[in-house]
């Protein structure tokens, strides 16, 4: 009986080991590393999704300062344009979810970002919602935080004592003709058009083509969600990404090792979004991810064995938050 149990256990262990080896071969992680190195991109990459957005209101100054000081490789942001032509960092199509726009401009609460001037945008409170939703992470200094311009995010990244990259998405680019050229122009003016510390990203092929024309040396990531994968098929998306960019950004639900392997074999870097739990880091890293977009850059740094210089609370207090 003991011999039989031992034999079964040995077979199970062998099958698990064989499956693990097969997954790694299929995922081709070495090709992802090689692609990252060829492009001068950080590997593996810690991409702070709208800053350290678990610990501070997304896309605000403390979120980006905290991510910078924790050691994130890239500060991630979505860029849109105000009605008077200023580029700002904001994710949603409207301001309704995470500002006091309903109190400030009740008749326009559902209006899109492009319907507001910069002065109106700057009058909004972009921090109090976080305190109300997350009392365990609330801070008095978060009340009244302002939405940032692209130039202000650039300034935060540039104030670091080390190289900090920017990972910029053109958000709803069909609503903002020419926004890619404006983004590139702003970065160039501020001396931040460095392909080693900059990545453009979009769900739009046309937007990525515009970025390629305006700044061909800068890496470009084709973002992919579940619907796109169902509608176009992974192989078709890989082909499109290889044609218009240098990488793919799949949602975690489609980041299977065989999918990542196909992308790697096409010479593409793969950064998976939005991944926040250590077990997810472990699983998807094993599947071959070259880095992650994460709200928890603090945990991702720890997972990669990169100890921050200070605790998040101490960093926030140092910068008066």
Q: Which residues belong to the active site?
A: 49, 91
Residue 150: closest CA among 112, 110, 121: 121
Q: How many angstroms separate the CA atoms of 182 and 64, rounded?
A: 22
The helix (H) or strand (E) run that includes residue 42 is: none
3-state secondary structure at position 148: coil
Q: Give the rounded distance of the alpha carbon of 231 from its chain centre.
A: 23
As a whole number of angstroms, the distance between CA 158 and CA 55 comes to: 22
Which class for 122: exposed (0-12), middle (13-18), buried (19 or more C-beta within 10 A)? middle
As a whole number of Å, the CA-based R_g of the chain is 21
- Residue owning tokens 């470009």: 220
| Gap between the Cα atoms of 101 and 121, Å rounded | 9
Q: Which of 246, 235, 256 is nearest to 26 (CA)?
A: 256
Which residue's entry shows tokens 């924790």? 70
Smallest Cα–Cα separation from 215: which of 202, 203, 199, 204? 199
The values of phi and psi at residue 266, to 5°, are -90, 5
Helix or strand run (H / E) with residue 261: helix 257-265
Asked if residues 72 and 47 have their Cβ atoms less than 8 Å apart, the reply is yes
């Amino acid at each position: 009986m003991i011999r039989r149990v031992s034999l079964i256990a040995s077979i199970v262990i062998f099958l698990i080991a064989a499956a693990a080896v097969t997954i790694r071969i299929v995922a081709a992680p070495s090709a992802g590393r090689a692609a990252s190195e060829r492009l001068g991109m950080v590997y593996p990459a810690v991409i702070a999704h709208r800053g350290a957005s678990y610990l501070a209101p997304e896309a605000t100054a403390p979120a980006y300062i905290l991510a910078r000081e924790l050691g994130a490789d890239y500060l991630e942001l979505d860029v849109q344009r105000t009605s008077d032509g200023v580029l700002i960092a904001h994710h949603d199509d409207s301001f309704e979810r995470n500002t006091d726009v309903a109190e400030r401009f009740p008749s326009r609460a559902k209006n899109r970002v492009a319907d507001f001037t910069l002065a109106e945008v700057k009058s909004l409170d972009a921090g109090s919602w976080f305190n109300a939703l997350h009392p365990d992470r609330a801070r008095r200094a978060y009340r009244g935080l302002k939405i940032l311009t692209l130039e202000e995010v650039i300034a935060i990244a540039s104030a670091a004592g080390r190289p900090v990259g920017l990972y910029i998405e053109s958000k709803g680019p069909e609503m903002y003709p020419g926004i890619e050229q404006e983004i590139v122009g702003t970065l160039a003016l501020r001396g931040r058009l460095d392909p080693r510390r900059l990545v453009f990203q979009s769900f739009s092929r046309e937007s990525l083509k515009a970025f390629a024309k305006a700044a061909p040396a800068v890496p470009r990531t084709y973002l992919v969600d579940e619907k796109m994968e169902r509608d176009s098929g992974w192989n078709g998306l890989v082909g499109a990404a290889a044609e218009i960019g240098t990488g793919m950004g799949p949602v975690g639900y489609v980041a299977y090792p065989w999918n990542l392997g196909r992308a790697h074999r096409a010479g593409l870097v793969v950064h998976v979004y939005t991944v926040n739990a250590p077990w997810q880091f472990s699983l998807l890293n094993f599947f071959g991810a070259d880095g992650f977009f994460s709200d928890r850059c603090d945990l991702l740094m720890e997972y990669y064995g990169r100890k921050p210089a200070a605790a998040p609370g101490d960093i926030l207090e140092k910068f008066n938050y």
